[in-house]
């Protein structure tokens, strides 16, 4: 089964912000917090070389900083042009303040 990976203390990771990018085994993950709920999706946009964690979060929508494509952080679903592909979404849970993500 897919292992749970401990990304460390969630508050420390976010440092008061709502978007954060981390690199795990060379894989870029974007962490997004909406109303104290945490979501992890691929940080790399499916359209080009941009990090979603550098974008603007509006509700559950993260807007890519490069061409303004938007994804739903709850699903990784691409919501508008110029996007044609979703990004991956990862299962998360918070345990004792630590952010765990199911990632392989």
Nearer to ligand FES, 1 or 84 (CB): 84
Nearer to ligand FES, 55 or 100 (CB): 55
Nearer to ligand FES, 31 or 70 (CB): 70
Among 64, 73, 99, 100, which residue interacts with ligand FES (rule: CB under 6 A)?
64
Residue facing ligand FES at closest CB distance: 48
Among 50, 51, 79, 98, which residue interacts with ligand FES (rule: CB under 6 A)?
50
Using the 8-state DSSP alphabet, how is residue 96 labeled?
Answer: T
Measured from the Cβ of residue 38, the count of other Cβ atoms closer than 10 Å reads 20
73 close to 87: Cβ distance less than 8 angstroms: no
Concatenating the DSSP letter of every residue in 34-94 gives ETTEEEEEESB-SSSS-BGGGSEEETTEEE-TTT--EEETTT--B-STT--S---EE-EEE
Positions that interact with ligand FES (CB under 6 A): 45, 47-48, 50, 64, 66-67, 69, 82-83
């Amino acid at each position: 089964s897919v292992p749970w990976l401990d990304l460390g203390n969630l508050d420390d990771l976010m440092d008061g912000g709502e978007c954060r990018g981390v690199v795990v085994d060379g894989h870029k993950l974007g962490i997004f917090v909406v109303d104290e709920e945490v979501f992890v999706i691929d940080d790399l946009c499916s359209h080009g070389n941009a990090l979603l964690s550098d974008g603007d979060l509006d509700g559950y929508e993260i807007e890519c900083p490069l061409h303004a494509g938007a994804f739903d952080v709850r699903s990784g679903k691409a919501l508008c042009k110029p996007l044609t592909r979703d990004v991956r979404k990862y299962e998360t849970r918070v345990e004792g303040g630590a952010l765990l993500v199911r990632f392989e």
